[in-house]
Every structure is written in C-alpha cells, then in structure tokens.
Structure 1
Amino acid sequence: MKSLLNAEWGRDGIVLLSRVLLMLLFLIFGWEKLTEFDQTTALFTHMGVPLPAVATVIAIAAEVGGGLALALGVFTRPMAVLMAVYTLATSVLGHHYWNLAGSERFLAEIAFYKNVCIVGGLMLLYLIGPGRYSVDRKLGIA
C-alpha cells in the first residue's frame, strides 16, 4: 500500500487538479468580467483604475486566457509567473485595505491575502511544472 505521506503516487493527477483549482477563481470572475464588460468598466472607473476599459480587457485576457492556459497546462512556467505578477498587481491596485475602515477593510484584507496565497501557489506551479496531464507535456516542452 502506498503511503499518503509520499505524494509521488498521484503526483501528476494532483498537479492537474491543483492547476484547475488554482485557476477556477480566475475563470469564474474573468468570464463574469467578459459577460458584464460595461459593469466591470464602470466598477474600475469607480475604483479609480487608470484607463478602465483597457484595464477590463487586460483583466479578461489575464483571467480567462491565463486561466485556461494554466488549467490546460499551456506554457505553464511562464504563464505561472505572468499570472503571479498580475495577481500581485491587482491585489495592490484593487484591494488596498490599508486605506479602508470597518467591514470594507476586512473584506479587502481577506481578498488581498487570498491573492497573496494564490501567488504562492503559482510560484509552486512554476517550480514543479505542468505535470504529465498537460499540453506542455504533449508538445514536449514540459
């Protein structure tokens, strides 16, 4: 019987599941930004995001495009780094809890540190690579 303490027994399946779970948030909210483009742009305008329409397009490309790429294991290592930079940048721009008070501060702080944790997961993905069940592996670039 294989020990659960030795994760090598299911490494590739676990990497695939991890890639999908890590990207689930991006895919859900990226799709929402895409289907509610005007509302997202209005929100970005309200938040003071520079060039809100351009920022909306960038967010959609990163979240849907980057999310799909990583879930499928396409250019996994460079995409993991790009998504980590994007996630950290959006944390600083969109979840600046240090300027808020009360429940707004609490919710923004949760979102900020959730994103920081996602950056940690993306950096691990960069280190371990896409695993066997990936487009990268099929193309021989894993």
Structure 2
Amino acid sequence: MLYKFLFPSKPDGAAASTILLIVRIVFGVLLMNHGIEKWANYQELSTAFPDPLGIGSPLSLGLAIFGEMACSMAFIIGFLYRLAMIPMIFTMGVAFFVIHGNDPFAVKELAFIYLVVFMLMYIVGPGKFAVDHWLGKALTPKKA
C-alpha cells in the first residue's frame, strides 16, 4: 500500500483526483473570501480601487470581484474549469506584477502564491471529481 502511495502508476487515479479536489476547494474558498470582502465593501472601494487597465475603478473592482468570486465557484466545482481560471490567473498576475510591482516581496507574496497555484492547476486540470469530467463523459459519443 505504501508503495502505491509513493510510486503511483496511475497519476490520474482517484487519489490524485482527490488531492486536486482538496486543492480546488481550499484555494477556491480562500480566493472567494477576498472577493466577498471586496463585494461587501464595494461602495467604499469603488472610488479608490486601483485601475491598472485604465477602465475606471468601479469596473476594475467589478472584474476583480468576478475573478475572485464567480470564477472561484466554477473552479471549486470544476465547471468550465480552464475558462474560469483565466480571470483568476489574470487578476493575480495584475496584483503581483502591476498593483504590488514595486512593493517588497512580503507584500505581494500572497498574490504570487495564488498565481503559481492557479497556473499549475490550469496545467494539471481539475481531475475526475469535477463537473467538466462528468460533462465530458456525457458528451463523448459512445462507440457502437
């Protein structure tokens, strides 16, 4: 049993998919909390929120909330997984490289951690325990 744990022959098996599910839940909920905080304080934040894209503070805040809340929910359940991750990766990239670009690393470390985890999760995929996996199976034509 220990051998199978240390040297899995099926990296896409149930154990790996369980770990991916746990990572999706943990990091999705953590990022969603940031979005909920921004949403709860929208009125106060919308006037002073950074506008790195030049589209206005309220719209920049709205896009950050979308990336941190709606996309986190899709990330957690694995629905349109890679599509949902694009705004999450973009938001963390802007936070790390633009908003906190000149700050000490300790200030921008959290954005960097999210960015790395989300980029790795984008590459690896959601695993078997995701809505996309079940949709893919349902939409795949059956061989006669």
CA offsets 1:80-124 (integer angstroms, 9 cap, x no match): 33321221012233223x2xxxxxx44xx2242332232221122
> What SS is found at the alignment partner of 1:140?
helix
* From 118, 125, 140, the counterpart of 1:122: 118
| Aligned twin of 1:20 | 25
| Aligned twin of 1:38 | 43
Letter aligned with residue 34 of structure 1: W
Q: Alignment length, in residue pairs?
A: 130
| Structure with the higher fraction of residues in helix conformation | 1
**RMSD after superposition:** 2.2
Distance 1:121 1:21 in 2: 11
Change (3 A) 1:61 1:81: closer
Which residues of 2 match residues 47-126 of structure 1 at below 5 A?
A: 47=50, 50=54, 51-96=56-101, 98=102, 105-106=103-104, 109-126=105-122
Structure 2 runs not aligned, ≥5 long: 138-144
Given that 1:81 and 1:123 are in contact with CA atoms closer than 8 Å, whether structure 2 keeps it comes out as no
Q: Which structure: larger Rg?
A: 2
> What SS is found at the alignment partner of 1:70?
helix
> What SS is found at the alignment partner of 2:6?
coil
| Aligned twin of 2:15 | 10
Structure 1 runs not aligned, ≥5 long: 99-104
| Aligned twin of 2:129 | 133
Which has the larger displacement, 9-18 or 34-43? 34-43
Once the two structures are TM-superposed, the CA of residue 132 in structure 1 deviates from its matched residue by: 1.2
